[in-house]
Chains A and B, each alone.
Chain A
Amino acid sequence: MAEKKPLIKELTKGFLAENPVLRLVLGTCPTLAVSTSVTNAIGMGISASAVLICSNIAISALRKIIPSKVRIPAYIVVIASFVTIVQMIVKAFAPALNESLGVYLPLIVVNCIILGRAEAFAGKNKVLASAVDGLGMGIGFTAALLAMAIVRELLGAGSFAGHAIPLLSQNPMTIFILPPGGFFVFGILMACANKIAEGRGKPKAELHGCESCPMAASCKLIQTDSAENVKEATVE
Chain B
Amino acid sequence: MKAFLFILLTAILTQNFILCKFLGICPFLGVSKKLNTAVGMSAAVIFVMVLATAVTYPINTLLEKNDLAYLQTIVFILVIAALVQLVEIVLKKYIPSLYSALGIYLPLITTNCAVLGVVLLNVDNGYNFVQSLTNSFGAGVGFLLAMVMFAGVRERMESCDIPKFMQGLPITLVAASLTAVSFLGFTGLVEGIFPGVTI
A binding-site residues for B, Cβ under 8 Å? 25, 28-30, 32-33, 73, 76-77, 80-81, 83-84, 87-88, 102-103, 106-107, 109-112, 115, 175, 178-184, 186-188, 190-191, 194-195, 198, 204-210, 212-215, 218-221
Contact = CB atoms under 8 A, between A and B. Distances in A.
Contact of A187 (B25, B78, B113, B171): B171
Contacts of B107: 215, 218-221
Interface string B176-199: 111011011000000000000000
B62 interface: no
B71 interface: yes
A106 B72 contact: yes
A87 B180 contact: no
A178 B85 CA distance: 37
Interface in B132-188: 164-174, 176-178, 180-181, 183-184
CB-CB nearest 10 A-B residue pairs: A187-B173, A183-B177, A191-B170, A80-B74, A184-B177, A33-B22, A180-B180, A32-B22, A187-B174, A106-B73
A203 to B, nearest CB: 10
A204 B168 CA distance: 9
> Interface on chain A toward B: helix, strand, loop, or mixed SS?
helix
Nearest to B124: A103
Contact size range, B: 35 or more
Contact of A179 (B20, B26, B120, B165): B20
Contacts of A80: 73-74, 77-78
B111 interface: yes
A84 B42 CA distance: 29
Interface stretch (B5-13, B28-36, B50-58, B93-101): B28-36
B39 to A, nearest CB: 15
A29 B170 contact: no
Contact of A76 (B20, B24, B78, B169): B78
B169 A112 contact: no
Given A103-B124, A221-B104, A110 B112 contact: yes
A181 B108 contact: no
A165 to B, nearest CB: 24
Most buried by A among B78, B167, B168: B168
B108 A110 contact: no
B19 interface: yes
Contacts of A191: 165-166, 170
A187 B165 contact: no
B108 A221 contact: yes
Given A208-B30, A209-B30, A213-B26, 8 more contacts: A28-B26, A33-B21, A84-B74, A103-B121, A182-B177, A184-B174, A188-B170, A210-B31
A187 B30 contact: no
